Amino acid sequence: MKSNKVDNSEGTKKPKLLTSQDIDYIHRVLERDFCSREEVCSNLNDMHLRQKLFDKEALYLPMILNSEKLNISTYFYYFLLCRRVMVQAGLKDPGLVDTIAGSLIDMYRLHCKGIEDQKLNTECRYPPMDMRVLIKTKPYWHTVHIRARIGEYKLVFDGYINPSRHTQDAEQLSDKDVTL
């Protein structure tokens, strides 16, 4: 019998484990693609299959339309939203996505701590996130501007990337401005 444990460490600097609720969500939403929970886990353990799985549109729609009724981890929620924006902008490197998503999770934790410290009563499990990725293409590098906001916390990432390393189709990448 196969294990339901999913190891996300392949291709990233620090391992992340999806929760049982995250796997249940994927299985429920993509039930036509998978026969069993074990098959979902098998796909999640393969880096290339996992990336294809995370890019499926069906995973995002319930998150955007009905987030208050979701029962998934905060990491998975913000990771998928972050990945969607970055992939739409052409940034598909799993390490880069994981780094930005990890920073968003830290912002979320600070936001929750601030609410707790101020003794505010809030029902919002996943505070709204605004995110924008702007890419300006150059012949040998791309300028990348990433802005994200959760509550009063703002993430700013400005830098240069080598197009062949961080994008899937470097030749087809053009100037992009993607907003969540």
CA–chain centroid gap for 23, Å, is 15
Q: With both helix axes pointing from N to C terminus, report the angle between 20-29 and 57-65 in degrees, rounded to the nearest 10.
A: 110
For residue 125, which of 55, 61, 56, 78 has the smallest C-alpha distance?
Answer: 78
Name the strand (E) or helix (H) holding 147: strand 142-150
Q: What is the pLDDT of residues 160-178, one digit of tens each?
A: 877 665 555 444 555 666 6
Sequence ranges of the domains in the chain:
20-179
Identify the three-state secondary structure at position 74: helix
Q: How far apart are CA 15 and CA 114, in angstroms?
A: 27
- What pLDDT is stored for residue 124 in this prediction? 57
Q: What is the pLDDT of residues 24-50, one digit of tens each?
A: 999 888 887 777 888 888 888 888 888
